[in-house]
């Protein structure tokens, strides 16, 4: 397996821009590709702003920031990913869109290149099957905010070969992350455990066991968590949580993953959490 030197990132939204930023600050040449110019401009501006904040805080020096930005190229043409040793897909969470992109990348990239998806809930093998290199396809699941969160889940499908897994563990280490190995099942490790906990917190609140503030305070101080489950739900997004719960329930048919009625009603009402200004708490 050739050394990973040039990294492509597809989709420069919330996650893709974080991944592109960390890869560039870790010394990789990065090509970031977006579908639309407006989103590309927003993503690049977000990376600059984030790096400026690190410089202001003194955790990064201005020279290193400029060097990282110099290593980052951006484009709206997927063909510009040609020459990348690794491409990380972070586009919309839609299986058809991802499969179309994987087929395109497979035709474009050199035979040694690895293709990864940052999907939270979709089946990685389904994307791998859209390529002629399923052994070199894996999940590489980062956590939001990418520049801060240490964990990366490396997701092995039933086809991924060991050389690819080894290369991805080495890559994660170069990014300053800690990698864990997960199987290609919905939720991988972290969401498989976290989602039932979050759903149960909604059930407990729905049943009137305690106020939302007391549920959050209880779990925060009682378990040493940085925030309570309802606050965390507002961060993650209630719509996103609902979507992931539905996929997990569909796969496992276990009531543990079934979305509580209150969650569904809140999503229908547009109470999606912080991003919509209202979730369990008000952010207006």
Q: Please, what is the minimum distance in Å from the beta carbon of residue 214 to ligand NAI?
A: 27
Q: Applying CB under 6 A, does 15 fall inside the site for ligand NAI?
A: yes
Task: Find the catalytic residue in 117, 121, 123, 191.
Answer: 191
d(CA 74, CA 80): 9
Which residue, 127 or 201, has its beta carbon nearer to ligand NAI?
A: 127
Q: Applying CB under 6 A, does 16 fall inside the site for ligand NAI?
A: yes
The encoded tokens of residue 53 equal: 């904040």
d(CA 12, CA 106): 20
Our measurement of the distance from residue 202's CA atom to the centroid of its chain's CA atoms, rounded to an integer in Å, reads: 23
Q: Please, what is the minimum distance in Å from the beta carbon of residue 58 to ligand NAI?
A: 27
State which of residues 25, 120, 123, 241 lies at the interface with ligand NAI (CB under 6 A). Answer: 120
141 is catalytic: yes
Cβ(81)–Cβ(31) below 8 Å: yes
Within 18-47, the residues that bind ligand NAI by CB under 6 A are: 33-36, 39
Size of the site for ligand NAI (CB under 6 A): 24
Which residue, 98 or 271, has its beta carbon nearer to ligand NAI?
A: 98
191 is catalytic: yes
Strand-by-strand arrangement of the 151-156 sheet: 72-75, 29-33, 6-10, 86-89, 114-117, 137-142, 151-156, 178-183
Which of 122, 125, 136, 204 minimizes the C-alpha distance to 166? 136
Q: Applying CB under 6 A, does 91 fall inside the site for ligand NAI?
A: yes
Within 131-150, the residues that bind ligand NAI by CB under 6 A are: 141-142, 144
d(CA 174, CA 162): 18
* DSSP structure class, residue 259: P
Task: Find the catalytic residue in 153, 159, 271, 272.
Answer: 153
State which of residues 29, 80, 93, 246 lies at the interface with ligand NAI (CB under 6 A). Answer: 93
Residues in contact with ligand NAI by CB under 6 A are: 10-16, 33-36, 39, 90-93, 97, 101, 118-120, 141-142, 144
């Amino acid at each position: 397996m050739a050394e990973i030197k040039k990294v492509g990132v597809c989709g420069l939204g919330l996650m893709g821009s974080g991944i592109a930023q960390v890869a560039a600050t870790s010394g990789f040449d990065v090509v970031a590709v977006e579908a639309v110019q407006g989103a590309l401009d927003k993503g690049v501006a977000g990376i600059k702003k984030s790096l400026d904040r690190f410089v202001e805080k003194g955790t990064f020096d201005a020279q290193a920031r400029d060097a990282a930005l110099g290593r980052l190229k951006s484009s709206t043409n997927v063909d510009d990913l040609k020459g990348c040793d690794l491409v990380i897909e972070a586009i919309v969470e839609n299986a058809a869109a991802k499969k179309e992109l994987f087929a395109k990348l497979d035709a474009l990239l050199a035979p040694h290149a690895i293709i990864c998806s940052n999907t939270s809930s979709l089946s990685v093998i389904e994307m791998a099957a859209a390529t002629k290199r399923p052994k070199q396809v894996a999940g590489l699941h980062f956590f939001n905010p990418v520049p801060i969160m240490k964990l990366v889940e490396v997701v092995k499908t039933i086809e991924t070969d060991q050389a690819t897994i080894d290369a991805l563990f080495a890559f994660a280490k170069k990014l300053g992350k800690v990698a864990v190995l997960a199987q290609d099942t919905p939720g991988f490790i972290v969401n498989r455990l976290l989602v039932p906990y979050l759903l149960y917190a909604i059930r407990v609140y729905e049943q009137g066991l305690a106020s939302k503030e007391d549920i959050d305070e209880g779990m925060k101080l009682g378990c040493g968590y940085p925030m309570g489950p309802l606050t965390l739900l507002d961060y993650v997004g209630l719509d996103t949580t609902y979507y992931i719960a539905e996929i997990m329930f569909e796969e496992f048919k276990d009531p543990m993953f079934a979305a509580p009625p209150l969650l569904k009603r809140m999503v229908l009402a547009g109470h999606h959490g912080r991003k919509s200004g209202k979730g369990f708490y008000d952010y207006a």
